[in-house]
Amino acid sequence: MNLPNIITLGRLLSVPVAIWVILDGAFHVAFWIFVAAGISDAVDGFVAKRFDMKTPIGALLDPLADKALLVSIYVTLGLAGQLPTWLVILVVFRDVMIIGGFLLIQLLAGRIRWEPLFISKANTVLQILLAAVTLARLGFTIDDHGLGTALIFAVAATTILSGGAYLVRWAQSLANAEQFR
C-alpha cells in the first residue's frame, strides 16, 4: 500500500457515504463528496505518475473506485427520482456490457490490451458533468437553465455510441483472433 492507493481506497470508501447522503436528501453534502472524489482521482494519479508509485493494485483500484462512485450516484439519483430511470438503466447496462465483453474477449481472443475509446472518455466526462450539475441543482437549489436536460440527452447519446463502438471493436478482435487459429 502506498499513498496513491490509500487515496484511491478512500475514494472507494466514499461510495456508501455518497449513497447514504443522497438517500437522506443531503444533496449539498453529496455534491462536495463528489467534488472531493474528483480531486482525489486527480491527486492519486498525479502522485502515482510523478513519484513513480504506480502499482498493479492501483491500476485495478482506480477505475473500480471511479466506476463504483459514478454508477452508485446514478443508481441512487435514479431511485431518488432525480435522474430518468431509462438513463440509469442505459448507463448501468453499458458498463456491465463493457466489463462482461472485455472479460469474454480476454477469454476467447487472448490477452488484448485496450485503451479506452475517445467516445467512451467523452461519455465519462458527460456523466460526471450530469452528476455534478444534478447534485448542485438539488443541493444548492439553483436553476441550471436546462443544462441538466441537455446533459441527459448528451449522456444518452454518447452512452449508446460508446456501447456500439465497443461492440464493433469486440467483433473485430474476435474476427482477428479466429483468423490466426
Note the pLDDT of residue 138.
Answer: 97
In this structure, the answer to whether residues 75 and 93 fall within a common structural domain is no
Would you state the pLDDT for residue 173?
Answer: 79
Cell readout for 33 is 463528496
Distance CA 169, CA 63 (A): 20
What local confidence, expressed as pLDDT, does residue 101 receive?
A: 87
C-beta atoms surrounding 168 within 10 Å: 10
| pLDDT score at 171 | 85
Give CA torsion, residues 78, 81, 87, 88, to 10 deg.
10
Same domain, 96 and 47: no
Domain C-terminal end among 61, 82, 103: 82
102, burial (CB in 10 Å: exposed 0-12, middle 13-18, buried 19+): middle
Tell me, what's the pLDDT at 180?
54
Is there a contact between 50 and 6 (Cβ–Cβ < 8 Å)? no
SS3 label, residue 126: helix
pLDDT at position 140, please?
97
- Write down which residue in 82, 99, 133 finishes a domain: 82
Q: What is the per-residue pLDDT for 1?
A: 86
- Please give the radius of gyration of the chain, using alpha carbons only, rounded to the nearest integer: 18
Range of 60's domain?
Answer: 1-82
Domain boundary among 64, 82, 100: 82
Task: List the one residue out of 89, 36, 98 whose CA is nearest residue 65.
Answer: 36
Whether 166 and 98 have beta carbons less than 8 Å apart is answered as yes
Kindly list the averaged pLDDT for each block of 10 residues, start to end, along the chain of length 181: 96 98 98 97 96 94 94 98 98 94 82 82 97 98 97 98 94 74 57
